[in-house]
């Protein structure tokens, strides 16, 4: 069953910043990665 939840562009941008920040905690990076996996595929 597919997950219908989608992350907003603003949230995805924030998540990308967290992932690119070497000082981010492991928990923050895990949450950010989870948010990015919910982005819709660009066509």
pTM over 0.75: no
Eight-class DSSP state of 16: H
Model confidence pLDDT, tens digit, residues 1-43: 455 667 788 888 888 899 999 999 999 999 988 888 887 766 5
- Which tokens is 32 given? 């950010």
Scored b (16 or more CB within 10 A) or e, 3-23 reads eeeebeeeebeebeebbeeee
Model confidence pLDDT, tens digit, residues 6-16: 778 888 888 88
- Mapping DSSP to helix (H, G, I), strand (E, B) and coil, where does residue 25 land? coil
């Amino acid at each position: 069953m597919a997950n219908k939840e989608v992350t907003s562009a603003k949230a995805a941008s924030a998540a990308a910043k967290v992932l690119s920040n070497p000082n981010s905690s492991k928990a923050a990076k895990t949450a950010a990665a989870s948010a990015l996996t919910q982005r819709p595929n660009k066509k």
